[in-house]
Structure 1
Amino acid sequence: MTILEIIAAVCKNVGLDVPSSAVANTEREYVELVQFAKEAADEIARRADWSALRSTATITGTGTNDNFALPSGFGRLTLGSAVSVGGTPIRGGISQDEWFALTPTIGTPRYFRMNGISSISFYPYPAAATAISVSYVTKNWCSNGTAAWDNDSNTPLVPDELVTKGTIWRFKRKSGQDFSDYLAEFEAILTDLAGTDMQDRSPWQ
Structure 2
Amino acid sequence: MQPFTTLRAVAVPLAVANIDTDQILPARFLKKPRSAGYGNFLFHDERRRGDAYPLDAAAYAGAGILVADRNFGCGSSREGAVYALVDGGIRCVIAPSFGDIFASNAAKNGLLTVTLPEDVVASLRARLAASPGAEVTVDLPAQAVTDPDGAALPFEIDPFKKRCLVEGLDDVALTLEHAAAIAAYEARVAAEEPWRVPAVHA
User: What range describes the TM-score normalised by the shorter chain of this pair?
Assistant: under 0.3
Bigger RCO (CA 8 Å, 6+ sep)? 1
User: Whose radius of gyration is greater, 1 or 2?
Assistant: 1
Q: In proportion to residue count, which structure has more helix?
A: 2
TM-score normalised by structure 1 residue count? 0.22
TM-score normalised by structure 2 residue count? 0.23
